[in-house]
Amino acid sequence: MTDAAKPALRKAPDWGRRLVILVPALWLAVFFVVPCLIVLKISLSQTVIAQPPYVPVLDLAAGWPGLRDFAGGLSLDSYKMLGSDWIYLTSYLRSLAIAAMSTVILLAVGYPIAYGIARSPRRLQPVLIMAVFLPFLTAFLIRIYAWINILQREGLLNDTLLALGIVREPVVWLATDTAIIIGIVYSYLPFMVLPLYASLEKLDESLLEAAADLGAPRWKAFWLVTVPLSASGIVAGALLCFIPIAGEFVIPDLLGGSSALMIGQTLWTEFFQNKDWPVASAVAIALLLVLLAPILIYQHVQMRALEDR
Amino acid sequence: MRFEAVSKRFGNFVAVELLSLDIFEREFFALLGPSGCGKTTLLRMLAGLEQPTEGRILLDGLDISGVPPHRRPVNMMFQSYALFPHLTVEANIAFGLKQDGMPKPEIATRVREMLELVKLDGFGERKPHQLSGGQRQRVALARALAKRPRVLLLDEPMSALDRKLREDTRFELMELQNTLGLTFVIVTHDQEEAMTVADRIGVMNAGQLAQVATPSEIYEHPNSRWIADFIGDINLIEGRVASSGLGHTVIESMTGGRFLVAAEATVGAAVAVALRPEKLRIDTVASGASGENGFPGRVTEIGYLGGVSVYKVRLDNGLDMKATLTNHTRLTAQPIAIGERVRLSFAPEAGVVLLR
């Protein structure tokens, strides 16, 4: 009797725990795994002029033979296409290069901001964090259009530079990579600052005092203590920016030129202009695989940070 | 090491005021005081983590007031230990040596020596979070000692340890100081700790040094009511000097009764007589004891502490006194019971006359 009662008692909290995990698991399954599988499926199809614009179409009503026909119709043609045309490879590399460049600049701009906030009086910190997020109160598109205004030939930036005598001729900003990077750094800054702030805010000031006491001048203490102890924030911020930037579409489309594309723009072209769903899906799947690497690195660092606690 | 009229203010708050102090070479000096008395500020000024608002701090006759912490031949063990969580025990200990540009093989040797010294051999590869509180404290100590500083500063080094460990650590600290021959300056609010480890104690109160002396001097000859009250248990009897001469003084207590103290004082001065509880003698009235400085009273409370028992006695003149008796034999029953009539007495040499 008691033996039978025991596992029943133990099961009750176990179920509660499973239920709690179930909600996010379901969410991920419905809104991430299933769409991913659909995209994967389309990427393995061929394009046709029809509705939907690809074959084979999975018809579960046809039963087993239908499934077999469907499986037989799948091919890797779209992926071969990615390898055959330079446009894809160059857009991938361009995206990664721009994402890397922006992330480095974001880190350089975001770290001092986060450090400054973390070192400011405690009462002030929530206000300053709010200030970092303040631009989000206006619509994203409006802010990017504002940048077009600032960066154009007769824009605010050129006016200022000319007035200060720094340049003699208006500089071409718009439709350059510089414009893309300015737009990206501006838009993603809060995503860099927040994780950095979170890790810097926890930093015990006495560690810096100890470093000074042991003979490290300020800059060295910063390099040997502050930076390694904020590594988790650096990695989190960098990935939080790098991954979405690599797939960014709106900013390069509005601020960048039309000659060289980022992968998001290539994907858009395939999907909406060429109506080639399978190749567009293959582009997306390949991007996912490319970005999986930094995500795995992030996981690894997170695990290490947890161990160190 | 010398403080010359050093003051430190934080805004309107005066942490340390016009303080002068000499700390000698190879001395174990304790700064003792209640929290907020400025003792930690004083230590941090020695380390260079705070700058004095006024005055000078001299080391070997050189003014080091403006020298930044990383250039001082002084190392500090922090109250929180402040171990670098991302570095191993070895790397923590080696941190200061690396800053000095010591060659790698020498660093390795020194780190091994330090680990041995604090009995942590074999723990070098661990991270601080994999150690117990006591082990962490040893790493902090090893790290602060690794550079062989002229002066080691210890900020409440044992406050995070449990009682047993704390007592062991005290003796280890004393041993270390003996073998290394360094100057140690410890900050503590634990008087027992200060009394045990230190050669001299500076008792601080409200930013000033109340008394600087050896532990026994501070205990037996406190220089003020505040010190007498702060260090250990004490009975303070307020009174006036009735007559004085030939090394003896008769004091008239405010609450009535006269007694004799082996000291000289100005006749008519308002004084307090400090009496340590263990220097009081307690007899039952029935025993018929007599002699100098005896006061009848009644036992109101008894506290049994194992080694000693504390008796609270209300004297017939209204004073409440505390007396401790060593329990020489295993007690079966208290020799004196609550409510019993007793006679408290003390030798003239037991009392200290305090003018302040």
- pLDDT tens digits along A71-88: 877 888 888 888 888 888
Say if A301 is an interface residue toward chain B (CB within 8 Å). Answer: no
Q: Which of B227, B258, B217, B234 is nearest to B310 (CA)?
A: B234
pLDDT given at position A5: 46
Residue of A nearest to B48 (CA): A213
Q: Do B47 and A206 touch (CB under 8 A)?
A: no
Chain A residues with beta carbon closer than 8 angstroms to that of B71: 215
* β-strands B28-32, B200-205 pairing: parallel
């700058």: which residue's tokens?
B51
Q: Do B75 and A209 touch (CB under 8 A)?
A: no
Residue of B nearest to A227 (CA): B86
Give which of B78, B84, B155 to mutate to test A binding, by max A Cβ within 10 Å: B84
Chain B residues with beta carbon closer than 8 angstroms to that of A216: 70, 95, 99
pLDDT at residue A18 is higher than 70: yes
Torsion of CA A23, A28, A29, A34, to 10 degrees: 150
* β-strands B294-304, B308-315 pairing: antiparallel
Q: Which of B297, B355, B285, B286 is nearest to B323 (CA)?
A: B297
Say if A13 is an interface residue toward chain B (CB within 8 Å). Answer: no
Three-class secondary structure assignment of chain A: CHHHHHHHHHHHHHHHHHHHHHHHHHHHHHHHHHHHHHHHHHHCCEECCCCCCEECCCCHHHHHHHHHHHHHHCCCHHHHHHHHCHHHHHHHHHHHHHHHHHHHHHHHHHHHHHHHHHHCCCCCHHHHHHHHHHHHHCCHHHHHHHHHHHHCCCCHHHHHHHHCCCCCCCCCCCCCHHHHHHHHHHHHHHHHHHHHHHHHHCCCHHHHHHHHHCCCCHHHHHHHHHHHHCHHHHHHHHHHHHHHHHCCCHHHHHHCCCCCCCHHHHHHHHHHHCCCHHHHHHHHHHHHHHHHHHHHHHHHHHHHHHHHC
Burial label for B246, CB within 10 Å (0-12, 13-18, 19+), is exposed
Burial label for B73, CB within 10 Å (0-12, 13-18, 19+), is middle
pLDDT at residue A309 is higher than 60: no
B95 vs A206, A214, A309: nearest CB: A214
pLDDT given at position A308: 59
Report residue A295 as tokens: 């995500």
pLDDT given at position A1: 42
ipTM metric: 0.80
pLDDT given at position A195: 94
What CATH number does the domain located at B2-226 have?
A: 3.40.50.300
Spatial contact of B251 and B273, defined as CB atoms under 8 Å apart: yes
pLDDT at residue A291 is higher than 70: yes
Chain B residues with beta carbon closer than 8 angstroms to that of A215: 70-71, 96, 99-100, 147
pLDDT at residue A238 is higher than 80: yes
Overall fold of domain A78-308? MetI-like fold (1.10.3720)
- Mean of the pLDDT values across residues A132-157? 90
The Cα–Cα gap between A118 and A229 comes to 14
Q: Do A214 and B96 touch (CB under 8 A)?
A: yes
Q: Do B95 and A207 touch (CB under 8 A)?
A: no
Chain B residues with beta carbon closer than 8 angstroms to that of A309: 85, 129
Distance (Å) from the C-alpha of residue B84 to the closest C-alpha of chain A? 7
Chain B residues with beta carbon closer than 8 angstroms to that of A213: 47-49, 69-70, 74-76, 144
Chain B residues with beta carbon closer than 8 angstroms to that of A121: none
Say if A305 is an interface residue toward chain B (CB within 8 Å). Answer: no
Chain A residues with beta carbon closer than 8 angstroms to that of B147: 214-215
Q: Do A207 and B82 touch (CB under 8 A)?
A: yes
- Mean of the pLDDT values across residues A276-285? 90
Say if A113 is an interface residue toward chain B (CB within 8 Å). Answer: no
Say if A223 is an interface residue toward chain B (CB within 8 Å). Answer: no
Could you report the per-residue pLDDT of A185-207, keeping only the tens digit for each? 999 999 999 999 999 998 988 99
Could you report the per-residue pLDDT of A97-125, keeping only the tens digit for each? 999 999 999 999 999 999 999 999 999 99
pLDDT given at position B168: 84
Give which of A199, A207, A214 to mutate to test B binding, by max B Cβ within 10 Å: A214
pLDDT at residue A37 is higher than 80: yes
Q: Do B49 and A308 touch (CB under 8 A)?
A: no
Chain A residues with beta carbon closer than 8 angstroms to that of B67: none
Q: Do A211 and B95 touch (CB under 8 A)?
A: yes
- Mean of the pLDDT values across residues A265-287? 89
The Cα–Cα gap between B172 and B143 comes to 16
Q: Which of B294, B270, B292, B273 is nearest to B282 (CA)?
A: B294
Q: How many CB pairs under 8 A join A and B?
A: 65
Q: Do B82 and A209 touch (CB under 8 A)?
A: yes
């190879």: which residue's tokens?
B26
Distance (Å) from the C-alpha of residue B102 to the closest C-alpha of chain A? 12
Spatial contact of B8 and B58, defined as CB atoms under 8 Å apart: no
- The top-level CATH class assigned to B233-354 is mainly beta
Say if A304 is an interface residue toward chain B (CB within 8 Å). Answer: no
Output the tens digit of pLDDT for each of chain B's 356 residues: 888 888 888 888 888 888 888 888 889 999 998 888 888 888 999 898 988 888 888 888 888 888 888 889 899 999 999 999 999 999 999 999 999 889 999 999 999 999 988 888 889 899 999 998 889 999 999 999 998 898 999 998 888 788 888 888 888 888 888 888 889 999 998 888 899 889 999 999 888 888 999 999 999 888 888 888 888 888 888 888 888 878 788 888 877 777 888 887 778 788 888 889 988 888 887 776 677 778 888 899 888 888 888 999 998 888 888 998 888 777 666 678 888 888 888 888 888 888 77
The Cα–Cα gap between B233 and B246 comes to 29
Q: Do B100 and A209 touch (CB under 8 A)?
A: no
pLDDT given at position A3: 47
What are the extents of the domains in chain B? 2-226, 233-354
A206 vs B75, B80, B127: nearest CB: B80
- This model's pTM is above 0.80: no
Our measurement of the distance from residue B337's CA atom to the centroid of its chain's CA atoms, rounded to an integer in Å, reads: 34
B70 vs A217, A229, A308: nearest CB: A217
pLDDT at residue A277 is higher than 80: yes
Distance (Å) from the C-alpha of residue B193 to the closest C-alpha of chain A? 24
